[in-house]
Amino acid sequence: MAASAPYADLTEEQLRKELARLQAEYESFRVRDLSLNMARGKPSAAQLALSEPLLTIVKSNEDCFAADGTDCRNYGVLEGIPEARALMASLLDDEPENTIVFGNSSLTVMYDALARCLDFGCCGSIPWAYLESVKWLCPVPGYDRHFAVTETFGIKMIPVPLVDAVAADGTPLVGPDMDLVERLVAEDAAIKGIWCVPKYANPTGITYSDAVVRRLAAMECAAPDFRIFWDNAYCVHHLHDDPAEQDQLLDIAVACREAGTEDRYLKFASTSKITFPGAGISAFAASPANVADALAHVKNQMIGNDKLTQLRHVRFLKDASGVAAHMREHAAILRPKFDLVLDALQGGLGELAIASWTDPRGGYFISFEGMEGTARRIVSLAADAGVTMTGAGATWPYGDDPTDSNIRIAPTMPSLDELAIAMEVFVCCVKIASLEKLLEG
């Protein structure tokens, strides 16, 4: 019978017995030749099917025109057609005139924005490529593809813990550890920016509290061209329909304008997890100075992005309320998957005091925190049993989780049946790795 007391309370003999039992269970999974994947935040086929009308919503030659008469098949309109700018502005809590619509990937928009800082500087500052050292703050655990962008440009990444705290006066402080962030950016002019996934963060699911957003906007930065890369990837990705169960995020643009730092932020979003990840549209919003600075170089990089895809999205999603209605359909598919994962974790590990995990109200991930020194072992065990997890360490810059404890769980892609088995395997692997660690100590 499975142990249901904290492992720490068990004798060595009990631990060994439990391990032997779990090893047998693990073998029973291995012989099943499973092939399950909880690695990437990919929408499932059922979610993709929700956007089928997008495929044929622009049907004929006569259909291909934007409201202002622009032929969306032909060249031009660098900023995006006006109705697409309005749609994407609604995702970014911004104005259409501050919003530029790009191609199918906000990751590309972020990479390109950073490349421009390096090649050309920001609004007249010296190109960062000319500087001896450029550093970047990386809230952890965070998004591996963000870290890959900064790493490829040789930018030194500094991890900053995400915290969920309360200030002395009772103000919630959810987000990067702002005491640390404020100290670092005030001291070191080589620190040029910070990655933020401010809402339903990847992988923790947290949403920055207003006080954190305001402190990011108001903090004194030694680098005058410090930039917050505000990746609002999960801006409308609630798991619940009731607004009381949805997180609200203070707009960084509002906070920066209030603080007199209106050029500090660059906002990014996309429809990747709204319609089709591979065939959606993305957008960038920023202050007028940043938008003008971007366009001055972007105009040499492209003539215009895919306006037919923009038009399809406008016709299909229409506006903010159309997006919200569509996202409720996604949520209906995703909620049971998140519930299943949380139930499996609670049922399998809840009494053992060897792990913790997040219970997000939106986004695509559950962040799992195991015992120190077990994450790589858990992921490796799971892989050998046919369950692919995001690589251990991926949530840290350079893939280096110093406590080897964090694992990102992505429950969206598998079916409920697959997820149930995958979570059985995962829980088994967590227990084995934890027991091994306890016995070795």
Binding residue for a copy of itself (CB under 8 A) from 180, 254, 259, 308?
308
Residues from 2 through 41 that contact a copy of itself (CB under 8 A): 40
**Closest to 107 (Cα-Cα) out of 144, 158, 53, 75:** 144
**Closest to 226 (Cα-Cα) out of 173, 288, 161, 182:** 182
Binding residue for a copy of itself (CB under 8 A) from 17, 21, 240, 297?
297
Radius of gyration (Cα) for the chain, nearest Å?
A: 23
Is there binding between residue 45 and a copy of itself (CB under 8 A)?
A: yes
Query: For residue 84, how far is the Cα from the chain centroid?
Result: 23
Segment interacting with a copy of itself, rule: CB under 8 A, options 30-38, 45-53, 164-172, 229-237: 45-53
**Per-residue contact flags (x/-) with a copy of itself for residues 111 to 130, judged by CB under 8 A:** xx--x--xxx------x-xx
Binding residue for a copy of itself (CB under 8 A) from 195, 276, 368, 396?
276
Give first-to-last CA distance, the chain, whole Å: 24
Binding residue for a copy of itself (CB under 8 A) from 126, 302, 416, 439?
302
Residue whose CB is less far from a copy of itself, 184 or 279 = 279
Residues from 84 through 113 that contact a copy of itself (CB under 8 A): 103-105, 107-108, 111-112
Is residue 376 exposed (0-12), middle (13-18) or buried (19+ Cβ within 10 Å)? middle
**Closest to 396 (Cα-Cα) out of 388, 407, 380, 387:** 407
Binding residue for a copy of itself (CB under 8 A) from 1, 12, 31, 59?
59
Is there binding between residue 309 and a copy of itself (CB under 8 A)?
A: yes
Are the CB atoms for 372 and 403 separated by under 8 Å? yes
Residues from 314 through 373 that contact a copy of itself (CB under 8 A): none
Q: How far is the CB of 419 from a copy of itself (least distance, A)?
A: 17
Is there binding between residue 214 and a copy of itself (CB under 8 A)?
A: no
Residue whose CB is less far from a copy of itself, 248 or 300 = 300
CA distance 102 to 78: 9
**Closest to 202 (Cα-Cα) out of 53, 358, 354:** 358
Burial 302-341 (b: 16+ CB within 10 A, else e): eebbbbebbbbbbebbeeeeebbebbeebbebbeebbebb
**Structure tokens that stand for 63 in this block:** 């259909």
Binding residue for a copy of itself (CB under 8 A) from 159, 176, 203, 304?
304
Is there binding between residue 417 and a copy of itself (CB under 8 A)?
A: no
In the block, tokens 């109705």 appear at 83
**Structure tokens that stand for 141 in this block:** 């655990």
Q: How many other C-beta atoms can be found within 10 angstroms of the C-beta atom of residue 152?
A: 11
Binding residue for a copy of itself (CB under 8 A) from 307, 313, 326, 377?
307
Is there binding between residue 51 and a copy of itself (CB under 8 A)?
A: yes
Binding residue for a copy of itself (CB under 8 A) from 148, 158, 218, 383?
148
In the block, tokens 């030194």 appear at 156
Binding residue for a copy of itself (CB under 8 A) from 74, 133, 403, 415?
74
Is there binding between residue 278 and a copy of itself (CB under 8 A)?
A: yes
Provide the binding-site residues for a copy of itself, judged by CB under 8 A. 40, 42-43, 45, 48-49, 51-52, 55-56, 58-61, 63-64, 71-77, 103-105, 107-108, 111-112, 115, 118-120, 127, 129-130, 145, 148-149, 151-153, 272, 276-279, 297, 299-309
